[in-house]
Each structure stands twice: as structure tokens, then as C-alpha cells.
Amino acid sequence: MELSDSVTQRKPAVPQGDMRDRVLNTTPDMDMEVEVDQVNDAEDNGHPRVQPGIRGELGNISLLLFLYVLQGIPLGLAGSIPLILQSKNVSYKDQAFFSFVFWPFSLKLLWAPLVDALYLTRFGRRKSWLVPTQYLLGLFMLYLSVTVDTLLKRDEGRGPDVVTLTAVFFMLAFLAATQDIAVDGWALTMLSRENVGYASTCNSVGQTAGYFLGNVLFLALESADFCNKYLRAEPKETGIVTLSEFLFFWGVVFLVSTTLVAVMKKENARGQHGKRKVREETQSVVETYKLLVSIIKMPAVFTFCSLLLTAKIGFSAADTVTGLKLVEAGVPKEQLALLAVPMVPLQILLPLIISKYTAGPRPLDVFYRAFPFRLLIGLEYALLVWWTPSLKQDGEFPLYYYAIVLFSYALHQPSFSLLLFDVK
């Protein structure tokens, strides 16, 4: 029943206090060193430095937020496809095969050094990857807008073409992950060092908003039952939008917005921050991969990686299959999607609340304490799936049933955020 796991992968906030004599190593695309060559004259004279705030960088922050929203759109669409497939009686084997779509965001570390080390200097280190990947995202969406109906419809007694759907959406997720690497790296040089902590806020809010648009909003507007019940005076057989129309619209948005960024946004214009000049140090691809391997070989890092790779085994089945089993039992997929709406504020606020408990010398204590509760919630999901068919009356479910499902979401979200935030 996890409707937003793929989008809640967030970065911890970078402290916005004094960062003098530090190296900012917070980029997920590869640890990028950013040196501050000069500080302002007030600091040199022994006076406390006054931070300028974000008013002078609202344009950059707005651009970052928009780029992260775009990043969440294909993730939300990919998250909606399993619910659509389930309504077409696709086997769980095919659902498991489609789950490969979500792997790129977990494996992007493998090609992040390439994004960090290979670029066109005149065009810009981050734009060299951002612009092509977003153009390709737009083109893939336009391609899908023409072919997705054929891929989803039954033909000669066979179900949807899951293999082709998986391949195309895998490419969408791969390109979105590559765009994430480029945007995360660009955020550190686009924003001044006093405001660089706002990059994680843009990531959290932007991805959540994009996923909401691509998943919850799409499933609601695509459902004929929902539109006829809440949005129309005269019933129709289809929703307000179709999947092909939704893909076409966002494909055009990707192409137009990418063109504007490529033409109008200059990446190497850091002189505007007064005397604070940022110099990015780069390494060759081979050196970067050697550094990555040496870090992974560290005993503490290796143990932590092993923990991350095995931590979700206990509840992965419940998280993945619960929503599909509820749809199979007759719960409308658009209703399940709408139940995730109240969770959006929690997804944004919980990391901020949890951060003060994970800032000490033992940040994983919260992880260990939340883990047993996380396993129990998986058991509660199993009971919910078992109980659901007995509540169906005349093809509908009572209001208190949806209240119970919403309560299950509310229990799940804090425990999930605790685990995820400690992981990040």
C-alpha cells in the first residue's frame, strides 16, 4: 500500500550556519568539493557576518524547486502503472517484473561519477547532463503518449505488454535519476553557501509535489467514476484526462522548460555573490571510481551498506502487495490514491521534526527503535487485506473502512520516515 515510497528518498538538510573552513560533501552524484576562497570583509575584520537570507536567490530556489517537481512526474506515473495493471488482472509475476522500473534511483551511485567527471566546460558542468536528460524525458513521454494505450489494451486474448512497458518506464526512471544527480550537484553551486541548505527543502517539497501530480492527481482525473461523482454534471464513460493525454502534456512541458533553462540560465555566473567565489575540484572518472571503491571497503561503510540492502526484507512484501490486493478486492484505485493526499504534509514535515533526534552521536538509535513497529505495521496490512472482502456491500465500501485505511497510512508514514531519514 506504499503509494509514495519511490519519491520519499530525501537528503538531510545541510546546516545553514557558519560553514567557513569546511568542505561541502553533500552531493549524491559524487562527493564534490566546494572551496570558499574568500570570505567577506566583515569577517576578515573580526566582525560577525550577517547572512543575506534568501531574498536575493528566490529565482534560483524557484528553479531548483521546479526541476525537482519535473523529476517527480515520471516517478509518480511509474507508481500509478501497477494499479492500472492490477485493474486489468495482470499476474503478480508481471507486477514483480515491472518493479524493476524503480531500481535506477537505488543504483544511481554506479554512474554518478560519470555525470560528475564528464561535461562540456563551455556549456556547464551540470547543464551538460541536465539538458539532454530532460529532452530525452520529454521525447520518451511523447512516444508513450502515442503507444501507451496499445501497450495497456488486451490484444488477441493476451494482457498488456508488460515487457515493453517496463523497458520504457525503466528508461524514464533512469533519466530521472540522472537528472537528480545533475540537479543535486548544481544546487551546491547555484545557491550561495549561506543558503545551500535550502536545496534539500527544494528536493523534499519538489519531488513530493511532482509525485502527487503524476500519481494521485492523474489517477483521480483518469477515473471515470471519480470524475462523474465529483467533477461532472453529466456522466461520461471516460475520465477528464487519459494517460496518453497526460503524457503528451508533460512531454511538451519538459521540452519547453528545458529549452528555456538551456538558453536563459547561465551556470557559471557565480560572481554575483560578492567576494564569495566557489571553485569546484574535479577528478578523472577512474580516480572517482577508485575513491568510491575505497570508501565502500571501509568496514563501517560496508556494514552500513549491508544493513541498507537487507533492512526492508521483513516488510517489503506487505508494502508492495497490499495496495494491489486491495484493488483486486474491489477498492477503487483512485480512492486509494486520494487517501495519500493527507499524508503529503507528513512527508514534508516529518523529516524536519525527526532531524533533531538524529543529529547526535548515535543517529541510528531512532532507526533501531522504529524497526519493530515497522514490522508490526506489515502484520496490520496483512490483516487489512484479509478483512477487506468481507466489508464490500453492493460493490462499495463503507466510509469507516476508508477511515481505517487512512489510519493505517498515518501509522505507516512516521515509522517509514524514521527509517528512511536515518538511512539518508
DSSP designation for 28: S
Contact 185, 25 (CB under 8 A): no
Give the mean pLDDT of 394-401.
Answer: 87
pLDDT of 276: 45
> Given this model, what pLDDT does residue 179 score?
95
Of residues 90 and 278, more confidently modeled: 90
CA distance 335 to 77: 16
CB 168 within 8 A of CB 81: no
- Cα 420 to Cα 82, 270, 377, 400: the distances in Å are 23, 34, 16, 30
Q: Considering only CA atoms, which of 178, 143, 138, 134 is closest in space to residue 164?
A: 143
Helix (H, G, I), strand (E, B) or coil at 186: helix
* Confidence grade of residue 26 (pLDDT, cut at 50, 70, 90): very low
Would you say 194 and 273 are in contact if contact means Cβ atoms under 8 Å apart? Answer: no
Q: Does the CA dihedral 381-382-388-390 come out positive or negative?
A: negative
Class in CATH terms, 5-297: mainly alpha
DSSP state of 158: B
- Dihedral class, residue 274 (left if φ above 0, else alpha if ψ from -120 to 50, else beta): left
* pLDDT classification of 48: cutoffs 50, 70, 90: very low
**CATH 1.20.1250.20 location in the chain:** 5-297
- pLDDT of amino acid 174: 96
Residue 34 has pLDDT above 50, yes or no: no
User: Is residue 380 predicted with pLDDT exceeding 70?
Assistant: yes
pLDDT: which is higher, 353 or 379: 379
Query: Using CA atoms, how far apart are residues 44 and 50, in angstroms rounded to an integer?
Result: 13
Q: How far is the CA of 139 from the CAs of 56, 73, 148, 175, 252, in angstroms?
A: 34, 14, 14, 11, 9
Is pLDDT of 10 > 50? no
**Across 394-408, average pLDDT:** 88
Band (pLDDT 50/70/90 cuts) for residue 116 is confident
Q: Specify the pTM.
A: 0.74
The answer to whether the Cα torsion of 338, 318, 422, 203 is positive or negative is: negative
Residue with more model confidence, 87 or 261 = 261
